[in-house]
């Protein structure tokens, strides 16, 4: 019993590695699921290219930052990469992240680690918000390095598509057209507007 409790505690505090993803691919994600039956089992989003994500890492330009809530205890913002927009937020439950986000000005380059979640609007649309764990101001070169690494990670997923269980599940759920995601990567690298 002691070992079982100890394992449960370890799982509770284990952090999944943050996956690199471009905004336009994340925007297409619609499949969200729990990775087990336990209370602290992680929740994942399945990317159309066949990667499960509990946490993601991305870079881009911060914009539209504003405080919300009765006591201004919630911050929302957008981060733009070369393919689209990530919608981010931090509240009083993420005090460190909220403080970090409050310190960064609009139009700054940022690096963000956070947890994505799919939300359904009353109209039936799906929106993906990212609850910020950490955010830091970075330089343009860091963003370009992130873009190169994320492009490679995306192309690696495309190369393995259909060979892993997750990519088979993604193929079945999304009917993924890989050429769309290859084009997305090459256009992001060609444009490189951050």
pLDDT tens string 58-114: 999 999 999 887 777 899 999 999 999 999 999 888 889 999 999 999 999 999 999
Q: Which residue, 12, 6, 33, is CA-closest to 165?
A: 33
Q: Say what the pTM is.
A: 0.88
pLDDT at 7 > cutoff 50: no
Predicted confidence (pLDDT) per residue in 156-185, tens digit: 999 999 999 999 999 999 999 999 999 999
Contacts of residue 123, defined as CB under 8 A and 6 or more positions apart, other chains included, come to none
3-class DSSP string for 11-77: HHHCCCCEEECCHHHHHHCCEEEECCCCCCCCEEEECCCCCEECEEEEEEEEEEEEEECCCCCEEEE
Distance CA 178, CA 115 (A): 25
Phi and psi at 31, nearest 5°, equal -100, 115
Q: Give, in degrees to the nearest 5, the angle at Cα 116 between 74 and 39.
A: 95
Q: How confident is the model at residue 25 (pLDDT cuts 50, 70, 90)?
A: very high
Q: Give, in degrees to the nearest 5, the angle at Cα 61 between 139 and 56.
A: 90
Predicted confidence (pLDDT) per residue in 38-50, tens digit: 877 889 999 999 9
In CATH, what number does 13-191 get?
2.40.50.140
Residue environment code for 71-94, b if the CB has 16+ CB neighbours within 10 A, otherwise e? eeebbbbbbbbbbbbbbbbbbeeb
Coil, strand or helix: which one is 162?
coil
Q: Where are the domains of the chain?
A: 13-191
């Amino acid at each position: 019993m002691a070992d079982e409790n100890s394992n449960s505690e370890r799982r509770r505090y284990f952090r999944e590695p943050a996956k690199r993803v471009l905004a336009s691919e994340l925007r297409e994600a619609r499949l969200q699921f729990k990775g087990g039956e336990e209370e602290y089992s992680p929740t994942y989003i399945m990317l159309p290219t066949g990667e499960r994500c509990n946490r993601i890492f991305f870079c881009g330009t911060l914009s539209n930052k504003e405080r919300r809530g009765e006591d201004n205890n919630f911050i929302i913002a957008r981060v733009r990469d070369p393919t689209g927009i990530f919608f981010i937020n931090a509240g009083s439950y993420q005090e460190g992240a909220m403080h970090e986000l409050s310190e960064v000005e609009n139009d700054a380059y940022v690096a963000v680690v956070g947890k994505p979640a799919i939300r359904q609007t009353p109209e039936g649309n799906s929106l993906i918000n990212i609850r910020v764990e950490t955010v830091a101001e970075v330089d343009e070169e860091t963003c370009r390095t992130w873009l190169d690494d994320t492009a490679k990670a995306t192309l690696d997923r495309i190369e393995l598509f259909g060979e892993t269980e997750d990519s088979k599940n993604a193929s079945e759920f999304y009917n993924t057209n890989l050429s769309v995601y290859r084009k997305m990567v090459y256009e992001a690298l060609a444009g490189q507007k951050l």
